[in-house]
Amino acid sequence: MEERSLNFLEEIIENHLAEGKYKNIHTRFPPEPNGYLHIGHAASICLNFGLAIKYKGQCNLRFDDTNPVTEETEYVESIMNDVKWLGFNWDELHYTSDYFEELYGFAVKLIEKGFAYVDDSTAEEMAAQKGDINRTGVNSIYRSRSIDENLQLFAEMREGKYPDGAKVLRAKIDMEHPNLLMRDPIIYRIKHAHHHRTGDKWCVYPMYDFAHGQSDSIENITHSICTLEFIHHRPLYDWFIEKLEIFPSHQYEFARRNLTYTVMSKRKLLQLVNEKHVDGWDDPRMPTISGLRRRGYTPESIRNFADTIGIAKRENITDVGLLEFCVRDHLNKIADRRMAVLDPVKLIITNYPEGQTEDLIAENNPENENGGTRSVPFSREIWIEREDFMEDAPKKFFRLGPGLTVRLKYAYIVTCNDFKKDEHGNITEIYCSYIPESKSGSDTSGLKVKGTIHWVSVPHAKTAEVRLYDRLFKVENPASEEGDFKDYINPDSLTILPKAYIEPALTETNPLDKFQFLRLGYFTTDKNSTSGHLIFNKTVGLKDSWAK
């Protein structure tokens, strides 16, 4: 692969290492456990863990679990599972909630230094005090409380003396600051809520801005990488660290990753799940890591995607075709080839002896010399794909029709002599004759045929449910359309074929196995597939629609 040029973070890190600013770099991936990870998070995971690997540093996994209301253990487990599945191992595992005592101590320290105060204003009053970009803020009447009074009130807040919203702790910065986030932001609020890890121990919780940078600092994070919308938070991030005189972590921003024909906010994905537009967080149509896994994506393909898109400083939206290109490229190398017929019609080889069967030897994967072979049974009656036959075939139709000749993959050359229709005009049977000397691997017929089609022997065929997926949304960027994003859901995003015919070798399969169904695309075995009820999910078609 071509060596790509350094991205802006790699440049910064290489400079830091060269200058000796840091001996080792330390990054972290800090998800909030309020949903399942999606492909945007995968980009961030690959970036943070990838930098640590590249520069022989460390990367932590930290659950940013400061909001007791939206967080759940189920999400924590799914996130750990997804990070590992992508192929990464964290150096340290942390929870921001483990720092609650330390963070509380930092808040006390700020009060003691005169940099924080308890405010009794209502949310509306504080919003009015804040002003806006055209109007400077005004001080709260509580801003001049004494340090002692603040210390006492803050302790009482912690003890549970006050109801939700009665008081907050605010940083004392500058109500005339041009950056609105610097106008005495709230750093602690009262919330009498049960936390998924700390239970009922706390009824005051730190705000994101107060927890994040300080957690980075506690862990000696050198490069704290986040998405662009936090750029205006950076002065605040630096202010807390400076006033607290703690390890100087630094924040760097890159553009959030978006993908066409889907949505990427956890809040929206949660709506799709709760309102049953999809079959759970791991529905194969979801842009979640677990959905992509169930769809048949490999960790390699997702890592390759993340590396190919790289990082940007400006918001952009990536064509989902690139993601599909990456998985197709990998599956082509690793997926065993099998035959399945999704829309079957019967073909009878009239000159093939009745009752005879043959075991044909078929290569598992022409892209892998160690891929081995399998045996595929052949007989007089086979299923072929309905669309591989045309009654009035045009000139360039290199498949079957009256008088046309094709090769049956791994088997013989056949010519169509006749066919039968039912009273609705549907083809019910196709009659062919075969050329015994044309067997694949020992063909002495001297015939050249343009087309090869796949098939499954009728008496040997097994059945399976096959699920075909299309885009979940009808428009490129549903989140930017007018009205509710759910108005743009594609009603035809799932097609279930309850009874496809498959070759016998496909019955020996476990969930997440990957196959190329010849001429149809890549498929994976669903998590609910059993030997009594096989289910395959289509990952992606064979045709490359991605314009390079």
Residue 179 assigned ligand-binding role: no
Q: How far is CA 250 from the centre of its chain?
A: 28
Cβ atoms of residues 379 and 410 within 8 Å: no
287 binds ligand ATP per the rule CB under 6 A: no
Report CA-CA distances (Å) from 286 to 154, 169, 385, 510: 44, 40, 29, 22
Query: Judged by CB under 5 A, how many residues of this single chain contact Mg ion?
Result: 1
Name the DSSP class of 239: H
303 is catalytic: no
Within 10 A of 59 (CB to CB), how many other CB atoms are there? Answer: 26
For Mg ion, the closer of residues 32 and 443 by Cβ is: 32
> Which window, 29-37, 137-145, 299-307, 332-340, contacts Mg ion (CB under 5 A)?
29-37
Residue 264 assigned ligand-binding role: yes
Rounded to whole angstroms, the Cα distance separating 51 from 11 reads 11
Return the one option of Mg ion, ligand ATP, none that residue 195 interacts with (CB less than 5 to 8 A, by type): none
For ligand ATP, the closer of residues 32 and 443 by Cβ is: 32
44 binds ligand ATP per the rule CB under 6 A: yes
| Minimum CB distance to Mg ion, residue 357 (Å) | 59
52 binds ligand ATP per the rule CB under 6 A: no
The residues in 32-91 that bind Mg ion, with binding defined as CB under 5 A, are 32
Q: Give the H/E segment covering residue 240.
A: helix 234-244
460 binds ligand ATP per the rule CB under 6 A: no
Q: Sheet with 455-457: list strands edge to edge.
A: 452-453, 405-408, 413-421, 427-434, 344-349, 381-385, 455-457
- Of 13, 26, 41, 339, the residue at the interface with ligand ATP (CB under 6 A) is 41
Residue 33 assigned ligand-binding role: yes
β-strands 494-502, 462-469: how paired?
antiparallel
Residue 227 assigned ligand-binding role: yes
Residue 265 assigned ligand-binding role: yes
40 binds ligand ATP per the rule CB under 6 A: yes
Cβ atoms of residues 416 and 403 within 8 Å: yes
Site string for ligand ATP, 56-95 (x = CB under 6 A): --------x-------------------------------
Rounded to whole angstroms, the Cα distance separating 411 from 407 reads 7
Give, in degrees to the nearest 5, the angle at Cα 223 between 67 and 2. Answer: 120
Query: Judged by CB under 6 A, how many residues of this single chain contact ligand ATP?
Result: 15
172 binds ligand ATP per the rule CB under 6 A: no
> Which window, 27-35, 155-163, 174-182, 399-407, contacts ligand ATP (CB under 6 A)?
27-35
Rounded to whole angstroms, the Cα distance separating 67 from 194 reads 10
Rounded to whole angstroms, the Cα distance separating 287 from 269 reads 9
For ligand ATP, the closer of residues 253 and 324 by Cβ is: 253
Residue 266 assigned ligand-binding role: yes
Query: Position of tokens 């994101």?
Result: 208
Token pair recorded at residue 11: 């440049």
Token pair recorded at residue 533: 């009820």
For ligand ATP, the closer of residues 83 and 520 by Cβ is: 83
For ligand ATP, the closer of residues 179 and 265 by Cβ is: 265
307 binds ligand ATP per the rule CB under 6 A: no
Token pair recorded at residue 373: 């072979």
Token pair recorded at residue 433: 């004759």
30 binds ligand ATP per the rule CB under 6 A: yes
For Mg ion, the closer of residues 30 and 521 by Cβ is: 30
Return the one option of Mg ion, ligand ATP, none that residue 477 interacts with (CB less than 5 to 8 A, by type): none
| Minimum CB distance to ligand ATP, residue 72 (Å) | 13
Residue nearest to ligand ATP (CB): 40
31 binds ligand ATP per the rule CB under 6 A: yes
Name the DSSP class of 277: S
Phi, psi of 288, rounded to the nearest 5 degrees: -75, 160
Q: Which of 167, 172, 183, 256 is catalytic?
A: 256
Rounded to whole angstroms, the Cα distance separating 83 from 90 reads 9
Q: Which of 10, 32, 358, 481 is catalytic?
A: 32
264 binds ligand ATP per the rule CB under 6 A: yes
Beta bridge partners of 420: 429
Find the distance separating the first CA and the last CA of the chain, reported in whole Å: 15
257 binds ligand ATP per the rule CB under 6 A: yes
Q: At what angle do helices 39-54 and 299-309 cross, to 10 degrees?
A: 80
Phi, psi of 189, rounded to the nearest 5 degrees: -130, 160
197 is catalytic: no
| Minimum CB distance to Mg ion, residue 526 (Å) | 29
227 binds ligand ATP per the rule CB under 6 A: yes
For ligand ATP, the closer of residues 226 and 540 by Cβ is: 226
| Minimum CB distance to ligand ATP, residue 251 (Å) | 10
| Minimum CB distance to ligand ATP, residue 27 (Å) | 10
Rounded to whole angstroms, the Cα distance separating 385 from 402 reads 16
- Of 26, 183, 266, 514, the residue at the interface with ligand ATP (CB under 6 A) is 266
Q: What is the largest CA-CA distance in the chain?
A: 102
Radius of gyration of the chain (CA): 31
For ligand ATP, the closer of residues 43 and 173 by Cβ is: 43
Q: Which of 28, 145, 183, 266 is catalytic?
A: 266
Rounded to whole angstroms, the Cα distance separating 403 from 419 reads 11
246 binds ligand ATP per the rule CB under 6 A: no
The residues in 333-372 that bind ligand ATP, with binding defined as CB under 6 A, are none
β-strands 168-171, 116-119: how paired?
antiparallel
Residue 445 assigned ligand-binding role: no
> Which window, 31-39, 293-301, 343-351, 425-433, contacts Mg ion (CB under 5 A)?
31-39
Give, in degrees to the nearest 5, the angle at Cα 393 between 388 and 394. Answer: 120
294 is catalytic: no
Cite the active site residues. 32, 256, 266
Binding-site sequence positions: 32-34, 64, 208, 227, 264-266
Positions touching ligand ATP (CB under 6 A) are 30-32, 40-41, 43-44, 64, 226-227, 256-257, 264-266
Positions touching Mg ion (CB under 5 A) are 32
